[in-house]
Amino acid sequence: MSSMTKGMQSISFQEQPYLISSGSVVGKKEGEGPLGARFDMIDDTDQFGEKTWEAAESTMQKEACLMAIGKAGLKPQDIRYIYGGDLLRQGIATSMGVEALQIPMFGLFGACSTSGEALALSAMSVAAGYGDRILAVTSSHFGSAEKEFRFPLGYANQRPLSAQWTVTGSGAFLVGNQKSNIRISGVTIGKIVDYGLKDSQNMGACMAPAACDTVIQNFEDFGRNGEEYDHIITGDLGYVGTDILLDLVKKKGKDISAQHLDCGKLIYDQDSQDTHAGGSGCGCAATTLSAYVLPKIAAGEWKRILFVPTGALMSTVSYNEGESVPGIAHAVVLEHC
């Protein structure tokens, strides 16, 4: 087998793995948003029949996994491995969520970039012959994330306009060599990019430099321009981060303003849903990809997409200790076939 590495940070798959199926599960606010009708499952209580936010998040993951597996007409025992992660400490939402499936699993932490990390690793594993069918899953929950990173939900907290709203949702993706209309043709794995920003309430600005770095690297590695993608879709830069990304990319001599979309801007209605700078969280990119982007690729409406989920790798401890919020972004090239 000849090398599949491409440029400095990318892989171009010889046998391109298929994205076989996906599942999306969301809460009330997401269900009321512009993409509401497209999600596979909506729970208007945000609790998914559980008593705690953490358990609710785990249940979302389980449901999303079962949805993706079921759509492919398979059973959990047909899946070789899971790559999964979430925002909570020790990745507990994933551990509890996928336990019932009894599929061998790798736990990941990439903050909100986890969907990209999991998809990249799944595609790499399939391309390398380590498994025929591999599941990538991630989630976030507004309740558990607020509790972990900010304040109790009932607290009269004042959110700045740059703050983003953590999406309650989980997305699962089945990658393998079973034919579908979507292939993962390549990936670009991002570096930690840290411009020293210390504002955890402006995560779009913390992540935008990482998104820029990965997008530019993808262009260089594959010898492409923005025009060669129907869309370049970032995970959760939101309104502030998007403006910054477009500026940063321009400074590098490229222009992606015509192709760029952001899941954080797509998932909520900016005029009526009062999220301030848009959506965020692992679930933001994952559910938007599953419910909105993939169907368009499958239908052939979009031929080639660069999906770039972005993560703000924040720890509440290091943040209190005065450290900055480092960013990361991974790019996955999705193509209609």
Binding-site ranges for another protein (CB under 8 A): 51-52, 147, 151-158, 160-162, 195-197, 199, 202, 205, 209, 240, 243-244, 247
Q: Toward another protein, which CB reaches closer, 37 or 152?
A: 152
Q: Toward another protein, which CB reaches closer, 1 or 155?
A: 155
Nearest-approach distance from CB 189 to another protein, in angstroms? 17
Q: Toward another protein, which CB reaches closer, 240 or 282?
A: 240
- Extract the tokens encoding 227: 């025009």
Q: Toward another protein, which CB reaches closer, 160 or 300?
A: 160
Q: Toward another protein, which CB reaches closer, 135 or 313?
A: 313
Q: Toward another protein, which CB reaches closer, 149 or 195?
A: 195
Q: Toward another protein, which CB reaches closer, 162 or 315?
A: 162
Closest CA to 279 of 39, 22, 35: 35
**Which residues 6+ apart lie within 8 Å of 259 measured at CB?**
226, 227, 229, 230, 231, 232
Nearest-approach distance from CB 230 to another protein, in angstroms? 27
Radius of gyration of the chain (CA): 18
**290 Rama sector, left if φ>0, alpha if ψ -120 to 50, beta otherwise:** alpha
Nearest-approach distance from CB 247 to another protein, in angstroms? 8
Nearest-approach distance from CB 276 to another protein, in angstroms? 9
Q: Toward another protein, which CB reaches closer, 227 or 274?
A: 274
Nearest-approach distance from CB 154 to another protein, in angstroms? 3
Q: Are 43 and 28 in contact (CB under 8 A)?
A: yes
**Which residues 6+ apart lie within 8 Å of 305 measured at CB?**
229, 230, 231, 232, 233, 293, 297, 333, 334, 335
Nearest-approach distance from CB 161 to another protein, in angstroms? 4
Nearest-approach distance from CB 317 to another protein, in angstroms? 14
Nearest-approach distance from CB 275 to another protein, in angstroms? 13
- Extract the tokens encoding 313: 């790798």
